[in-house]
Chain A
């Protein structure tokens, strides 16, 4: 009897705690600020400028959510997290969402109890070699010394790839990307391997980027996306559909330049009308204002604009769209319909 009372009390307490934690969107609105976890610094994805304003591809997602929920893209408190603190920060409620180049994996989704709301960048592990080595494929790398960050999935992927192809390599363990750049340039290793976006950003800092080539093989799948805690589906919906709104906006040709004009009155395309809130009540269903998506798009631009501004071909990083092109152009970026 006593035991069941105790269990009952615990359940009630647990439910109460669940209920208290469930209304992230109310917390954010009451606070007037979105607490968004970002990396402590990754070129193109998140970095503070000299005035302390954060900018980047992942930061754009945070700002879009803040614009959708609060109407103000600047109402974001950026919480820098490291690879070691990011998941606890999210699980403990210190941050409302994590937008920090985090790979969507089974165990993170299921075991750590997070909800990945989508993918904003499809990455994969690649190789960079000096051109003078004359290598054109990763399969020619037999016996090469490879600079590799320790304790990451890239290390395991590398071992798998070389074993599957029956070739050998010699690892040169390094701790950070900055160290890797120094080691690679000093010739301590023939090959540097990490995520392809990181390789491109690293190569862009070299004095003669053209002396180094990225090999065509991509040996792993690294879908990076924003994530939230399990158990608050309303909040997960808001983050998911804000990301989808940016993607759909690109598909439908809505950009930060024309979103103001298009949202003035209902146009001829019903999906654009529903997206921008001139028709239907999608915003109301999310518990947000009717112009939530318009605010998000006006703040950071559509997905394509965000990509081009931070990591696209005209930036020093110079990534091409590749897998991250719209599905209509042969990529994987695809949003469910707004209906």
Chain B
């Protein structure tokens, strides 16, 4: 064959050419820009217009943001600093007044929580004698750090599975760290669950599991409502172990948002699953209860539930009852989130092909086993975007508590403006609050995308 070549074409290359780098206009930033930004006359025009718009916005905002007013102690001082720099604009001086953030960021984070709860009357600043080596706000910070530790084994694959024991303890540890008081209260709440479990084990093995569940719930309620109070008092008088207690009224700022948000998010998922299953149940009463609950809660705005928590309960409860306002709000927000969660999960359940249910039945799995092993893992995976959207929505909805007089970040923004030194400041405080909310919501959103990738088992 080689002979043919030699006669038909003038030249044949006998060796491979070394690979050449692609032309400069096809790779790197230029190539990327050509492919993505200027791939046609229309796209080029859009790109240029967008760049111009971004430039105009940044040109207006950046000089305002970069304003050397961090150390100012009042709005007037900010204005003097800016006027001294000659930054006079059309409507007076232009530039942010960041002094308000320096002055109040701790308050926006922790509200009025005492920085050193052992000596609650002292102010921020130097640690008082007797507070030991603990840094300011160690309790809320520790609670938050432990929250991450407790969530890690649930959220990610790498942490050791033993951490799950800590996750199980955390719901009892968190209120104790935040509110303080005697160690026996969270332990007695924990004991209620242990009692319920033991009763269930004993009754269900000797009699029936339905009777077991009923008796377990009754035993736990009797323990919590009647007995535990005496036991806690007795134990506390024998062995008083505890930390300084902090009033709910001292809670505020982001700590309050996170506390309400985390509890509501953590409780609404399991409650939502139960409600969603109940709604699909064949048992008439269970189904009616679940549908009624979901539709009632979803038919009422959250702010109405909050007013019920803060105002109506006050009137209906006997005078002198001290039902913690934050607890009331947490319960209402949790119920609200659960109803929405139930519908999101029901969407996931509905998306599963009927064959999955039938396959689980064919394997001889009972109802709970088939839910646990076949249905729920798939249904929850489908629902992830909806679940996380609900989480983010709940977290942002916590700002509504400012309307009933709780000082969350938005409530505090009003309180801060009521200080004569900072009256008239709007954008700086809202910007700071928005930034913090963005950090939390964006992390949740990114986590959900990571989770979806990790759980991707189909090969679309």
Contact = CB atoms under 8 A, between A and B. Distances in A.
B311 interface: yes
Interface string B300-332: 000000010011001100011000000000000
Interface stretch (A44-52, A114-122, A162-170): A44-52
User: Interface size for chain A: under 10, 10 to 19, 20 to 34, or 35 or more residues?
Assistant: 35 or more
Interface of A: 17, 20-21, 39-53, 56, 74, 77-82, 84-85, 88-89, 91-94, 176, 178, 181-182, 185, 201-202, 204-208, 315-317
14 contacts: A40-B415, A40-B418, A43-B418, A44-B420, A47-B420, A48-B415, A50-B107, A53-B123, A78-B249, A80-B415, A81-B405, A92-B314, A182-B426, A316-B420
B74 to A, nearest CB: 9
B91 interface: yes
B416 A41 contact: yes
Q: Which of A43, A45, A81 has the most CB of B within 10 A?
A: A43
Q: Which 3 A-B pairs have the closest CB atoms?
A: A41-B418, A205-B424, A92-B314
Given A40-B405, A82-B405, A178-B426, A47 B314 contact: no
B64 to A, nearest CB: 15
A46 B426 CA distance: 19
B143 interface: no
Contact of A85 (B91, B112, B311, B415): B311
B78 to A, nearest CB: 10
B404 interface: yes
A317 B320 contact: no
B418 A52 contact: no
B342 interface: no
Given A50-B106, A92-B319, A207-B92, 14 more contacts: A40-B418, A43-B419, A45-B418, A48-B415, A48-B419, A50-B104, A50-B107, A51-B124, A52-B107, A88-B311, A89-B314, A178-B417, A185-B91, A206-B424
B358 interface: no
Contact of A204 (B79, B92, B250, B420): B420
A244 B268 CA distance: 53
Q: Which of A45, A88, A182, A315 has the most CB of B within 10 A?
A: A88
B420 A52 contact: no
Contacts of B311: 84-85, 88, 92
B295 interface: no
Contacts, number: 115
Interface string B394-432: 000000001111110001001111111101101000000
A182 B426 CA distance: 9
Nearest to B318: A17
Given A40-B405, A91-B315, A204-B420, A80 B310 contact: no
Interface string B323-350: 0000000000000000000000000000
B247 interface: yes
Contacts of A17: 319
A205 B121 CA distance: 32
A85 B303 CA distance: 13
Given A50-B124, A77-B249, A84 B418 contact: no
B414 A178 contact: yes
B424 A181 contact: yes
Interface in B100-114: 103-104, 106-107, 111-112
A88 B315 contact: yes
A25 to B, nearest CB: 15
A326 to B, nearest CB: 25
A208 B88 CA distance: 13
A204 B423 contact: yes
A82 B92 CA distance: 33
A88 B423 contact: no
Contacts of A40: 402, 405, 407, 411, 414-415, 418
Given A79-B405, A91-B315, A92-B315, A47 B249 contact: no
B28 to A, nearest CB: 46
B112 A48 contact: yes
Interface string B236-259: 000000000001011000000000
A178 B416 CA distance: 12
Given A40-B407, A50-B124, A208 B320 contact: no
B418 A85 contact: no
Nearest to A21: B319
A253 B423 CA distance: 33
A20 B320 contact: yes
B124 A41 contact: no
Q: Which of A47, A94, A317 has the most CB of B within 10 A?
A: A47
Nearest to B125: A51
A207 B112 contact: no
Contacts of A178: 414, 417, 426
B92 A208 contact: yes
Contacts of A84: 307, 311, 403-404
B407 A20 contact: no
Contact of A47 (B79, B91, B418): B418
Contact of B420 (A185, A206, A315): A315
Given A43-B418, A47-B415, A178-B426, A85 B247 contact: no
Nearest to A88: B311
Contact of A207 (B93, B106, B406, B419): B93
A42 B411 CA distance: 12
A94 B328 CA distance: 14
B424 A41 contact: no
Nearest to A33: B247
Nearest to A27: B320
Nearest to A206: B424
